[in-house]
Structure 1
Amino acid sequence: MEKTIVVGIDIRDLKIAKTGTKTYLEEICRAFKKERPGIKFYFFDTILPVYIGKNKILKIAEHLRFFIWKQVLLPVLALSKGCDIIFCTDFFVPYLNLGYKTIPVFHDAFFWEYPEHYNKLWLKIFHKFGVQAARKSAYVIAPTEYAKDRIAHYSGLPVNKIISIPEAPKTLLSTPSLSTGTLKLKTSKYFLHIGTFEKRKNLYCLVEALHLLHQQGFTDFSLVLCGQISPKNDMDGSRKLYEAINAYNLTDYVIMPGYVSDIDLSWYYQNAELYLFPSVNEGFGLPILEAFQNKLPVLVANNTCLPEVGGEAVVTFNPFDASDLADKIIPIITSKERRLALIEMGNERLKNFSWERTANELIEVFKKAAQY
């Protein structure tokens, strides 16, 4: 009889994580909690609250507590349960491997690509302990081949040590209680984007494209941008966004409802005309799959991982050329056949992604690592 593999999952990040990283951990834990012969999971969390405020002293104290959790408490918990593997989805695993193998998830290469966006102390901790611990890990998980290549390029980790395992769409609930009146739309139709207002999201491109469409007579469309302003000045792209809205007199046509809860998110997808993704850098791009799931045509920037995730089911555009985006939108909003064809391709593309598939592929990595 084969030995049961014991895997410890660090879920402390659920107290901090937002957007895609939170979705990943929530969904993968849900999948791992199903009965799986030959493997046993423990879900490790701290009993202490996690500070997420802006006080510098308390933030430094929280960094210290994070270090103690990762390097002391988590290893002790893993040892007490006889873990063969420690799996962490927040870039950091224990530096010391005390009878177990470690496997981190690196969602992207942003620590290297945008160092100015991170606290200097946090960045030092990442390079000193996050990257060095990853070097000692059995494997590192990345969400796409693009992310894998960028992580290998910057970290120096062997490419064959980094395994690309795709993600899947968030599990969303329908909420018929919302209505278009809630949005105070000036038009009956809208384009949608979900995500924070970071510079790399390139949201002003959408405003410029909407302006060009209005100039060509397509004035029955608005733009809904669900998300929050970035709390970090170096990352925040809202200023350029607001300037574009004011310059083109689109205040009544660009709706920003702020952070949207999971309960309401599906409503925004289900009532949109199409989904626009102008980002210039992503590690995966979960909204692509969420849009497919909600029967939306999807247009994505022709860079980084977005074409990889969307495949032939997405229309690509130059994110630095709003006229290209406008030109790509027009055939979709003027042709029912084109719209339905994209929706059907999205349905087919979505079949390649599920959290069950993600969980199964991760379990194969765990088994391989346990025998390593």
Structure 2
Amino acid sequence: MKILFDHQAFTGVRYGGVSRYFYDLMVSLQQKGVETHLSLLFSNNAYLLESDAFRVQSFRYFLGFMPTNRLFSQVNRLWSVTQLMRNHYDVFHPTFFHPYFLTYTQKPVVLTYHDAIKDKFAEQFGHIDNASKELKQKLFDRSAQVIAVSENTKKDLIELFKIKPEKITVVYHATAFQNLKVPETFQIQVPEAYLLYVGARNDYKNFIPFLKAVAVILQKYRHVQLICAGGGSFNEEETQWIQQLGLTDRISQRNIDDFTLFRLYQQALAFVYPSLYEGFGIPILEAFAAGCPVILSRASCFPEVAGEAALYFDPESASDLQQQIEKVILDDSLRQSFIQKGHERGQFFSLEKMASQTLQVYQRIA
């Protein structure tokens, strides 16, 4: 069986949950003997460039960031169209919601729906992607199957779109961190004690309210700091709040690769995920794999993913968040119990299972 994936999630994105999902899926399918082809010529995606699984060429931003990305996206799209017209594949799995492929393929199409944030909360977070609800409906109509990454996301799909439940298959995410071998010699400098925040910090990520809530903890426990991993440098608003809260020397931002992120999880007091809504939440599984206690907002899919292996708080309540963090700081036996619970819960998710269940979807429709 030959599965064709396209360029959309990879052209201009160096890191990110969607590109990581597709990269891990393609590699895991290859390990099961499935032919996977990626119609992509140029990319700065770290997962691809640091791997020998796919041949891509990096590029420089000679026109500025966005204009250069648009240029190479157009080049990659033309290459994708070429691959579609050659017809040497059994199933096409586009990696995002651009409809360019509709006129170029008659083969079965599978779409993965990662979250309903844009479609459910358009007024607050309408800028998250440029695919309208109407466009997504058109693509779902054309698709033979839709993969939802959680039962919560499947429920959102049924509520938001005209789509039959039997057309949706839930396939949970997984993480390569379960099999990541970090060399003993790879060590990083970290504070004596710190809380960890991972990823983007915009809008629905609830970062500024989280920052205000955690400031009370950092002032009370002077040995504890906050590290924000990834997500880029602090913007002007974030910097102003950090200064206003008197936390300039207590909060830091770090750029990351997989080894660095694994060590940050491994040595943190806890990983805190304050998002208002997510489709799945891969960092939860990363933290489980690295042996890091997890503190989650009681929202969307989080209880479905983490089960009883996490501490939960009301994302609208600063005091509730502070209480959960204090539990972890003050009770080491509690920390150790949640490390063990996280390890056990993490075994429920695997790349092999994700690849096998996705392959079953392909086989049903090919």
For Structure 1 versus Structure 2, the TM-score category normalised by the shorter chain is 0.7 to 0.9
Mapped partners of 1:281, 1:300: distance in 2 = 11
Q: How far 1:221 moved relative to its partner? A: 0.6
**1: distance between equivalents of 2:347 and 2:289?**
10
Alpha-carbon distance, 1:23 to partner = 1.3
Residue of structure 1 in register with 2:153 after alignment = 147
| Mapping 1:79-98, distance limit 5 Å | 79=87, 81=88, 83-92=89-98, 94-96=101-103, 98=105
Q: Evaluate the alpha carbon distance shift between residue 319 and residue 195 of structure 1 in structure 2; reply closer, same or farther with a 3 A threshold.
A: same
How far did 1:164 drift? 1.3
Change (3 A) 1:349 1:118: closer
Backbone CA RMSD of aligned residues: 2.8
Cα 1:365–1:132 change in 2 (3 A) is same
Q: Could you tell me the TM-score, scaled by structure 2's length?
A: 0.83
Partner residue, 1:123: 131
Select which of 14, 23, 46 maps to 2:40.
Answer: 46
1:66 shift after superposition: 6.1
Calculate percent identity across the aligned residue pairs. Answer: 24
Query: Does the aligned pair in 1 maintain the 2:140–2:146 contact within 8 Å?
Result: yes
SS at 1:364 equivalent: helix
Distance (Å, rounded) in 2 between the aligned partners of 1:210 and 1:323: 10
Aligned to 1:234: none
CA–CA separation in structure 2 for the residues paired with 1:49 and 1:277: 29
Distance 1:150 1:239, change over 3 A: farther
Tell me, in whole angstroms, the C-alpha distance in 1 between the residues paired with 2:273 and 2:263.
Answer: 18
Q: Are residues 1:174 and 2:168 paired?
A: no
1:23-102 matches, within 5 Å, as 23-36=20-33, 40-48=34-42, 65=75, 68=78, 72-77=81-86, 79=87, 81=88, 83-92=89-98, 94-96=101-103, 98-102=105-109
**2:8 and 2:96 in contact (8 A); partners too:** no
How far apart in 2 are the matches of 1:20 and 1:316? 22
Find the aligned partners of 2:75 and 2:160 in 1 and give their Cα distance.
27
Name stretches of at least 5 consecutive residues in structure 2 with no aligned partner: 45-58
- What is the number of residues matched between the two proteins? 342
Q: Which residue of 2 aligns with 1:138?
A: 144
Residues 35 and 164 of structure 1: CA distance in aligned 2, closer, same or farther (over 3 Å): closer
User: Which residue is equivalent to 1:365?
Assistant: 361
Partner of 2:272: helix, strand, or coil? strand
Deviation of 1:65 after TM superposition, in Å, equals 5.0
Contact 1:189 1:220 in 2 (8 A): yes
The residue identity in structure 2 corresponding to 1:144 is: S
Aligned to 1:105, the other structure's residue is in SS state: strand
Which residue is equivalent to 2:246? 249
| 2:144 maps to amino acid | A
Deviation at 1:139, TM superposition (A): 0.5
Deviation for aligned residue 1:170:
3.3
Asked if 1 retains the 8 angstrom alpha-carbon contact of 2:298 and 2:312, the reply is yes
Aligned to 2:193: 189
Q: Give the distance between the partners of 2:68 and 2:2, measured in 1 at CA.
A: 35
Q: Distance in 2 between matches of 1:49 and 1:338?
A: 44
Distance, in Å, in 2 between the alignment partners of 1:333 and 1:106 is 37
Task: Tell me how far 1:206 sits from its aligned partner.
Answer: 3.3
Out of 329, 333, 344, the position equivalent to 2:329 is 333
CA distance in 2, matches of 1:203, 1:265: 19
After the TM superposition, which of the residue ranges 5-14 and 302-311 deviates more from structure 2?
5-14
Q: Judging changes above 3 Å, is the alpha-carbon distance between structure 1 residues 338 and 49 closer, same or farther for their aligned structure 2 residues?
A: closer
What TM-score do you get using the length of structure 1 for normalisation?
Answer: 0.82
Q: Deviations over 1:33-57 (max 9, x none)?
A: 1144xxx423132335688775776
Any gaps of 5 or more consecutive residues in structure 1?
231-236
Bigger mean CA offset, 138-147 vs 5-14: 5-14
Which of residues 269, 278, 285 is equivalent to 2:274? 278
* 1:232-277 CA distance string (max 9 Å, x none): xxxxx945533432222111111112x3122322121111111100
| Aligned partner letter, 1:43 | H
Q: Given the superposition, is the C-alpha separation of residues 49 and 191 from structure 1 closer, same or farther in structure 2, using an over 3 Å criterion?
A: closer
Offset, 1:323: 1.3
